[in-house]
Amino acid sequence: MGRIRILSDAVANKIAAGEVVERPASVVKELLENSLDAGATEFRVEIEAGGRRLIRLSDNGCGMMRDDALLAFERHATSKLADVKDLLSIATLGFRGEALPSIASVSRLLLETRAREEQAGTVVEIAGGKILRCEENAFAPGTTVTVRDLFYNVPARKKFLRSEQTETAHAASLVTHYSLAHPAKTFLLRHNNTDLLDVAPAASLKERVFQIFGSQVLEDLIDLGESWRDLPVPFELDEAPAFRRFRLRGFVSGPQVQKLNRNSVYLFVNGRLIRDRLLLHAISSAYYNLMPPACWPFALLFVDCDAEEVDVNVHPSKTEVRFRHSSMVHDLVRDTIRAALIAEKPVSRIFSAAPPQPGAGLPYSEFSQSLENMAELAPVSGLSHEQTDPALLPEFRLHRPPPSTPRFQFTDAPRTEPEIAPAKLDIPDTHGPLSPGASPELDSLDALSDLRPLGQIHDSFIVAAGRDGLWIVDQHVAHERILFEKVLAARGAGCIETQRLLIPAILALTPAQQIEYARIADELDSVGFETEPFGNRTIAVKAAPAELAASDVEKVLLEILEISERELRKTSLDDLRRGIAASIACRAAIKINTRLEPPKIDWLLRALAATSCPMSCPHGRPIALRYSTRDILRSFHRI
């Protein structure tokens, strides 16, 4: 007798459930997607014990007819697809017909539903995939699905669940993000009888962002508005439109918000929450040269396009998509974000000695506050003794860079915030009020244009007085930014200044460098390096960009080859150009520990103000810090 057997349905269902239902949050996701597909406008999610004990979702959607209520638990039973052709243009979130049977096979599930057009509702009770009860009952139209004891019959999967807080945070993250995708709808999320999220219909995405994250986060965000790109499509006989439009809306944070993981990047494609490497790459390219490479911003992006332009049937949990015209989408995202960042020119602040505001540096919104509080709750006995893994908690907070990021501090200002806000001092009038108009708060680097230089600290940092406070500019990174833009602009216009080297530099290359060299030789040439092969794996450099000192030419070339090999092999020509310009700029820029004469300082500040992106150097470090007048007043207890 052979060894191969066909698995019973019950086992097969559990295997599939393993893919679709990985944790409580997956159940929440599937139920929410069903409710959204059912056209609901009100969603009430209740969770107990991180979703292990109970997950309940009630909606006011179209409900199910009596016969459908049972059919819904058959595998591959769906109302959303009729035939294979429909798979090419899926407009609903669900389509596989797998979620309900999968969830029902690993839990005790109760479905209560009533279709609008029917008088009575239907109750279906299932445990471990077995139907226990199916009867009529009276309900309001809509659907409530209650999932109890998740994985009670799959101990192996139960073992992989994390702590109650972590599981709740994942589930909360899902509800929150679907609520962002549907600002006009009502969402309530309750955990162990505490409301974690309770949002009424909002007029706009911005208002919903405010409801969820609060005003402080909103201040750190840049509204991308709505941009689009059209893809021309050939006319077909039955007058198809002449183009397909790709739209992008959303919010991103400025380069000052730097996060160490991608947990704050939320991507939606046609209303579906997804993970997508292509879009992540587009985002990091947008921040390339504005933020250090390992950092991520906060981003909430909605891409909308024709359903035929995107294949959603890529993965069982439907979190991955494939675009038919991926570079179009990539470039739309990258260029829109980059343009918005450059237009905004946000400024890095010097650490403020202001009395602490409630919750400053801690949660920004009530929502994250409740998550935070929850994390402090003792685990419910018998349920969770594991450690919370903070790295796995989805983040809702925007963190300013840690105070150590600005490499300079005013020693007089207390670095750690006092525990009790100092009482406001009664300042005698002789101290004089500040002249009117002395503290306009400009939160953008536009204020750089009329700085008055005061001097240099450590021959490295320029100190200057501005309309809105005291500024400190890192002379090396400032010059780096100026040169970077100059090199890029000259390259773009094809008018690079070069210098002949008196003696050609001879460079011996490793085999890997040789390959990179062959790949980018033309680009090197366009940027001003005149090179030619000189024997086996050796090149001669006869001319170099004018900015570079002859002694630096070799170093810069090797660096460019290294960057090109390490990071840029897969990325675009545009990124390669930026990488090359950044290397040249870094080598050629004024070093720190260099005394500068006043006219040179003047020139540097003016040239910096004229750059398109004076907030950070090509490697993503901040260039200018401001100690705002308001912070100065606060530090002297004048306000």
Which positions touch ligand ADP (CB under 6 A)? 30, 34-35, 38, 59, 61-64, 72, 77-80, 94-100, 143
| Helix boundaries (H) for 117-199 | 155-159, 164-181
Q: Nearer Cβ to Mg ion, position 74 or 441?
A: 74
Question: Measuring CA to CA, how many Å separate 480 from each of 261, 572, 586, 591, 621?
Answer: 27, 22, 5, 10, 11
- Residue position matching structure tokens 């191969």: 4
Q: Nearer Cβ to Mg ion, position 65 or 295?
A: 65
Pick what 485 binds: Mg ion, ligand ADP, none; C-beta below 5 to 8 Å, kind-dependent: none
Q: Nearer Cβ to Mg ion, position 92 or 370?
A: 92
115-119 long-range contacts (CB < 8 A, ≥24 apart) are 115/62, 115/63, 115/64, 115/65, 115/68, 115/141, 116/62, 116/63, 116/141, 117/65, 118/63, 118/65, 118/66
* In the complex, minimum distance from the CB of residue 127 to ligand ADP, in angstroms, rounded to a whole number: 17
Contacts of 93 (CB under 8 A, 6+ apart): 33, 34, 36, 37, 271, 272, 318
* In the complex, minimum distance from the CB of residue 112 to ligand ADP, in angstroms, rounded to a whole number: 10
Distance CA 323, CA 288 (A): 23
Contacts of 500 (CB under 8 A, 6+ apart): 542, 543
* In the complex, minimum distance from the CB of residue 92 to Mg ion, in angstroms, rounded to a whole number: 8
Q: Nearer Cβ to ligand ADP, position 66 or 345?
A: 66
Q: Nearer Cβ to ligand ADP, position 189 or 524?
A: 189
Q: Considering only residues 10 through 69, tell me which ones interact with Mg ion, judged by CB under 5 A.
A: 34
DSSP-based three-state secondary structure for 500 = strand
Pick what 35 binds: Mg ion, ligand ADP, none; C-beta below 5 to 8 Å, kind-dependent: ligand ADP
Q: Nearer Cβ to Mg ion, position 146 or 384?
A: 146
Pick what 80 binds: Mg ion, ligand ADP, none; C-beta below 5 to 8 Å, kind-dependent: ligand ADP
| Residue number with the smallest Cβ distance to ligand ADP | 94
Q: Nearer Cβ to ligand ADP, position 19 or 226?
A: 19
Distance CA 604, CA 462 (A): 10
Pick what 364 binds: Mg ion, ligand ADP, none; C-beta below 5 to 8 Å, kind-dependent: none
Pick what 59 binds: ligand ADP, Mg ion, none; C-beta below 5 to 8 Å, kind-dependent: ligand ADP
309-316 long-range contacts (CB < 8 A, ≥24 apart) are 309/231, 309/244, 309/246, 310/269, 310/270, 312/90, 312/95, 312/269, 312/270, 312/272, 313/87, 313/90, 313/95, 313/96, 316/16, 316/19, 316/20, 316/96, 316/98
* In the complex, minimum distance from the CB of residue 107 to Mg ion, in angstroms, rounded to a whole number: 15
Pick what 62 binds: ligand ADP, Mg ion, none; C-beta below 5 to 8 Å, kind-dependent: ligand ADP
Pick what 78 binds: ligand ADP, Mg ion, none; C-beta below 5 to 8 Å, kind-dependent: ligand ADP
Q: Nearer Cβ to ligand ADP, position 38 or 217?
A: 38
3-state helix, strand, coil in the chain (%, to 5): 35, 25, 40
* In the complex, minimum distance from the CB of residue 99 to Mg ion, in angstroms, rounded to a whole number: 4
* In the complex, minimum distance from the CB of residue 41 to ligand ADP, in angstroms, rounded to a whole number: 13
Does position 620 interact with Mg ion (CB under 5 A)? The reply is: no
Q: Considering only residues 71 through 130, tell me which ones interact with Mg ion, judged by CB under 5 A.
A: 94, 99
Number of residues located near Mg ion, criterion CB under 5 A: 3
- Given the DSSP bridges, would you call strands 265-269 and 108-114 parallel, antiparallel or unpaired? unpaired
Interaction site with Mg ion (CB under 5 A): 34, 94, 99
